[in-house]
Structures are given as structure tokens and as C-alpha cells.
Amino acid sequence: MAREITYRDALREALREEMYRDERVFLMGEDIGHYGGSYAVTRGFLQEFGPKRVRDTPIAELGIVGAGIGAAIGGLRPVVEIMTINFSLLAMDQIVNHLAKLHYMFNGQFTAPVVIRTAAGFGQLGATHSQTFEGWYAHVPGLRVVMPAVPKDAKGFLKSAIRGNDPVIFIEHSLIYRNRGEVPDDEDFLLPLEGAEVRREGTDVTIVSWSRGYYLALGAAEELAREGIDCEVIDLRVLRPLDIDTVVRSVQKTNRLVVVEEGWRTLAMGAEIAAAVQERAFDYLDAPIARVGSLEVPMPYARNLERLVVPNKDRVVAAVRQVLYQKQPVTVG
Amino acid sequence: MTSTVGGRSPGLALPKSELLEMYRQMVLIRRFEEAAAEQYALGKIAGFLHLYIGEEAVAVGAIRAMDPRDHLVTHYRDHGYALALGLDPGRCMAELFGKSTGLVGGRGGSMHFADASKNFWGGYAIVSGHLPIAVGLGLASQYQDERRVAVAIFGDGATNAGPFHESMNLAALWKLPVLFLCENNQYGMGTAVEYASAVREMARKACAYDMPAERVDGQDVLAVYDATKAALEHCRSGNGPFFIEALTYRFRGHSMADPEMYRSKEEVEEYRRQRDPIVLFRTRLTQEGIAVATEFEEIDREIEEVVAAAVRFAEESPEPDPATVMEHVYAEPVRVS
């Protein structure tokens, strides 16, 4: 059986179920308790589980993440919430220099199974609150970086992340918390923390994206379908380890690839995907790979400027036309 | 400041065998480090090598006071702690040689010793970055009602960095069983405390977090033992964290690459002559009538052999198998590519 629930509720269910299942699971983060979570994912949890397991912390990202690492080494299952991915930069040292490395550096003697939940997103929030850094974390061996787009994945991935033994950077998106989708009822519904998924089959062009970008890709595919252009849409879901095989198989069929990401394109996931695809499927490509991303500026506040900066459906459509060598309509942002 | 000179140390009531074991460990650390320096000069050890010579009393006194169940995380000057924990000198030396028999199979090197079976969760090389990890270990202990204390070892330099302050605050806020043990050797690499810290006494920084603190003579192994014992009891009894500042001095450079332009030869000589923790302890045990010269000499001879054997073991051990280079990046299998 399955029910249709929101992305936010999928996360809430995953956390609640795992907290009931395993006493060692606890939550730690800024404003997750009394305030209820800045995106309301943990609303009511303090009342339900008490302050030992739902821990409001000082505003000290590196301290929280480092404490999560120590708690995990000490036998607990911490789920650390970093309010937004922008603030995770304050914890970068803990994540990159410790969390990602302990298992290897100490020769597999112990692990630090910390789950770091954080959220990307934008919405007239200005330059320091509108970023997305999944590529920065995906750069680092030892981390698993997950960025689910749909409620089913949000729940299945989060439960697997909590039960697994690797550190996981679990990136949500503030603009898709209300998106709805089917989620299995099974309390042991788990998803392996790897693997892309072909969500829409097509023959003409492959569009790869993840998180909110997946919805842009899908919207573009639906619009283009009305003109008879048949797009295959892949939700990458996990950025490290990267399931490039699924993308390559698709490109071998469609011969054309568009990557859609929300952040800057320079040295980002799209660059990595394009490089990996040309390494493995050079002879299959009928057009240069196109990348859709943000304009390379700090995010401006003004609504019209912000709209110019972030990728939208029209720019995805334009990119698809580009790889099909179609004439572009005159006005494309 | 706590010092046992002139006073009666509870540590002196330890059985003679334990007191001699403390002496033995300090000599072991000294000779091990000297041998490591030699092997570094011979090109057998590469990278960074930070020697613990001069500071032996801190590790030996502190570890002796700890319960085996207590957690330990240290800075990168970690050889002394590993040896004081009783880890095999051969495996320690093999780690410096980058051999498969090393403590962490040659993956860590000098700065990243660890032994999970001893609750020694590693030497860390980002200054002050391991302090929040100690906080987390203390949290795990409190959460699971284990009465284990997490001991964090760090230098004076670490107390000026953000992670130190976030960790002190969290530990005090949540009343966690964490012992912050600061080895104040008076220099953060080549920068003297007076050039780096607005407050010269590290222990005073604890008052910002309402945390009890004590300064101790870090060249006096019994003083370190006594202070650590009392601090651990404080933490174990649910009173929250404790801060110890051990005043010590590093007799060698920061690392093997250090030309020591920042301090005078006279200063170093003065410490070596007057404040050598091994000489001080030996003199004390002699004065107290606990041991005689021949007993110390026998230990000294035994250690020469132990260290020579450790070097031989490291020398003769195989390098890590190249086929293992990708192992342990993840604990769970990775299937996609």
C-alpha cells in the first residue's frame, strides 16, 4: 500500500519511525525543538521525544557537526540538522577533514555514521542565503551525498542513511517541501544510497537533474512533448557515489544530453557529468552536452534579478532545442 | 598551580610497580622519539614528525589517571599518548615508517595514530578541530549513562580557535563529562603565547563557560596524575566538564623541519637542564626512597632494547598491499560507477 504525502511529511515519517525503532537515534540542530524546525520538519518532535533526543543547540555549526561525529563514534546515531546549506560552510572543516576521512584514515577501525540534514533553496533571500553546494560535498571521497526530489526518495533515503554506517550529507530543498508523491506504507521501506532513476522515458534527448531541478526538467519535457520532442528525464538522486552508468545508457539511446542544476556551472556537478559522459560515450554524442545553471553572480535580492539568475523551465527547453540544433525562439532569458 | 614538589602527592601512594611503570613509559617515549628522529634523518620516516620530547609527564600522568573505558582524542603530537596507553612500540614505529603493520596500516602516519580497542579515537591534525569530537563522545557517554569521560588533549594554540570555544560552550551547557587537557608548551608552532592569545593563562579561558579549571606543573608527572584523577572524578560524577592547563615545554622543534628561530638556545637549554620531567621524577622517586639507581638503569637498558626492536619490526614489516588502496573509503559497499 502507498499513500500520497508531502516531501516534508515523508521526512517527518522517516525521522519518527527511526527514532521509535532505535533509541540511539537522536536529533541535534539549531531551532529544531522549541521553535519546531525552521522548515517545520521536526515540529512537535520535542514534545513527542523529549529534550534528550531532540536537542536544540547553540548557533555553532562546526561544534554541532563535530559533536555529531563524536556521538557517532561513541555509539549513537545522530541526525544533525544544519538549518540551510549556506551555514554548512561553517562546518566544512568537520565534514571534509574529519567526517569524510575517519574510516579511511584510521584504517577502517571505526565509522562515524552521522546524517547531516540541510536545505538548499532561494526566494529573495539575498546572496548568502540562496546557495547550493552539493557539488562541494560530492567532491569528497568518503561522503555520501543525497539530494532527493520526490517524497518516496526523501523517506527511503533518510531511513537508510540513519541505519547505515557511512556519513551522509542529506540535502533537502526549501521550495519542494510541499510537493506531494506516493510513499510506501512499509516502516522498513529503505532505498540504497546510490543509483539514479529514469523517471520519464524518451528517445530524443536526455535531461539529467536532481532535487528541484528534476521538476524543471520534467516541466520542460512535458512542454516539448506537445511538439513531438520526446525527452528522457533522469533524476540523479545521489551525487556521490555517482551513478554515471544510468546516464551513459540513456545517452547511448538518445545521443543528446542536457544537465540542469541550480547552482553555478563552473566546476559543478554538470561539469563532472559532462566529462564522465564524454569519457564513456563520446561516439554516441550527436551534439555538445548542454548545461543549464545559475548565472555566475552572487544572488541578487530584487525579484526580477533573481528570476534572471536561477534556471527555469524556459532555459531547459532552450537547452534541449540547442542540443537538437533547432532554431531558438527569439526571446530566451 | 598544582605541583607536588614540597607537598605530599596522592600519586606517591601508588604501588611502587606503578610508579616505576610511569618512569618506564616516560623513558620509552623519550627513546622512541629519539629513534624516530634518527630514522627521519635516515629517510625512513617522511612527512611531518612532531616529537613529544620534554612533554612526557603530561601524557603519562594523564593516561595513568584515566579509566580504560574513558575516551581519548588528541592533537597530532600523539606518539606519547599511544605509548602511554600501552600500544605496541613496534606498531607505532611501523606507522611512522608507513608499513602495513602500523597502528592504522600506514594510512595515517605520525599525526593520525588510533586504536579503537583502547578507546583512543585518534590523533587529529587540524588544530582544535578534534575538540567537538570529544564533546560528542562525552554526549554519547551521558546519553547512554556510561560514566565514561572523554579526554581531549590540545595545545595552547588551539585555545584561540573557534572550535575550542564552541566545544567549551557545548560541553558546559550540556554538563558533559569532558576533560579539556591543554598542554601549554608556550608555542603554537613558532608563535609564542604572548603573540597569539589575549589571555596568557589558558586556564582562565574556562571561566567564560563557568567551567572549573586548574593549572598544573606539566613537568611533574605526579602533579599531572593528581590533577587528572581529581578532574576525571568531577566529570564522572555528573558535574560537567573540567579544564586542566598543564604547563610544559617542548625540547625539540615543532616538527623536524623547524629551524627554531623563534626561541633562544639558552631558553631550551635551561629547560633541558632544570625541567626535564624524567630527571625530575627519577630524583623524586630517589629522594622519597622508593627506588634506587640500579632499578632505573635496568629500566633504561630494557627500553633501549624495546626501541631497537620496534625499529627492527618497522624496518622488516611489509609496505601496505597496493590492492588495498581503495579499501575503507566507505563502510558500506558501493555498487554504482
- Contact (Cβ atoms closer than 8 angstroms) between residue B220 and residue B276: no
Quickly state the pLDDT bin for B227 (edges 50, 70, 90).
very high
CATH class for the region spanning B20-317? alpha beta
Note the pLDDT tens digit of each residue in B98-131: 999 999 999 999 999 999 999 999 999 999 999 9
Contact call for B331 and A166, based on CB within 8 A:
yes
> For the domain bounded by A197-323, which CATH number is listed?
3.40.50.920
Q: What is the pLDDT of residue B6?
A: 66
Give the amino acid at B294: T
What are the C-alpha distances in Å from B241 to residues B61, B180, B208?
19, 7, 13
Contact call for A105 and B134, based on CB within 8 A:
no
A242 Cα to chain B: minimum distance (Å):
6
The C-alpha cell 623519550 sits at: B30
Please count the other Cβ atoms lying within 10 Å of the Cβ belonging to residue B262: 14
Note the pLDDT tens digit of each residue in B162-202: 999 999 999 999 999 999 999 999 999 999 999 999 999 99
Pairing of strands A231-235, A197-200: antiparallel
Note the pLDDT tens digit of each residue in B22-59: 999 999 999 999 999 999 999 999 999 999 999 999 99
How many residues belong to chain B? 337
How many residues belong to chain A? 333
Query: What stretch of H or E contains B95?
Result: helix B89-96
Q: What is the 3-state secondary structure (H, E, C) of chain A?
A: CEEEEEHHHHHHHHHHHHHHHCCCEEEEECCCCCCCCCCCCCCCHHHHHCCCCEEECCCCHHHHHHHHHHHHHCCCEEEEEECCCCHHHHHHHHHHHHHCCHHHHCCCCCCCCCEEEEEECCCCCCCCCCCCCHHHHHCCCCCEEECCCCHHHHHHHHHHHHHCCCCEEEEEECCCCCCEEEEECCCCCCCCCCCCEEEECCCCEEEEECCHHHHHHHHHHHHHHCCCCCEEEEECCEEECCCHHHHHHHHHHHCCEEEEEEEECCCCHHHHHHHHHHHHHHHHCCCCCEEEEECCCCCCCCHHHHHHHCCCHHHHHHHHHHHCCCCCCCCCC
- Report the C-alpha gap between A260 and A249 in whole angstroms: 18
**Overall average pLDDT of the B248-260 stretch:** 91
Residues of chain A numbered 120-139 and touching chain B (CB < 8 Å): none
Q: Is the ipTM of this complex over 0.90?
A: yes
Domain ranges, ordered by start, for chain B: 20-317
Query: What stretch of H or E contains B220?
Result: none
Contact call for A73 and B137, based on CB within 8 A:
yes
Is this prediction's pTM over 0.90? Answer: yes
B interface test, pick of A59, A77, A107, A277 with most B CB neighbours within 10 Å: A107
B172 Cα to chain A: minimum distance (Å):
12
Low-confidence ranges of chain A (pLDDT < 50): 332-333
**Overall average pLDDT of the B242-257 stretch:** 94
Quickly state the pLDDT bin for B329 (edges 50, 70, 90).
very high
Every domain of chain A with CATH number 3.40.50.920 lies at 197-323
Percent of chain A with pLDDT over 70: 98
Contact call for B135 and A68, based on CB within 8 A:
no
> For the domain bounded by A2-184, which CATH number is listed?
3.40.50.970
pLDDT averaged over chain B? 96
Taking alpha carbons only, the member of A296, A269, A309, A313 closest to residue A122 is: A309
- Contact (Cβ atoms closer than 8 angstroms) between residue B49 and residue B97: no
Contact call for A107 and B129, based on CB within 8 A:
no
Answer left, alpha or beta for residue B213, where phi above 0 means left and psi between -120 and 50 means alpha: beta
Cis check for the bond before A241: say yes or no (omega within 30 of 0). yes
Q: What is the pLDDT of residue B318?
A: 98
Q: What is the pLDDT of residue A333?
A: 44
Taking alpha carbons only, the member of B230, B256, B205 closest to residue B96 is: B256
State the cell numbers at B256. Answer: 623536524
Residues of chain A numbered 141-160 and touching chain B (CB < 8 Å): 141-142, 144
- Report the C-alpha gap between A118 and A111 in whole angstroms: 21
* Catalytically annotated residue among A129, A134, A272, A306: A129
Contact call for A63 and B132, based on CB within 8 A:
yes
Note the pLDDT tens digit of each residue in A78-89: 999 999 999 999
A130 Cα to chain B: minimum distance (Å):
25
Q: What is the pLDDT of residue B10?
A: 86
Taking alpha carbons only, the member of B91, B90, B97 closest to residue B307 is: B90
* Catalytically annotated residue among A13, A17, A30, A61: A61
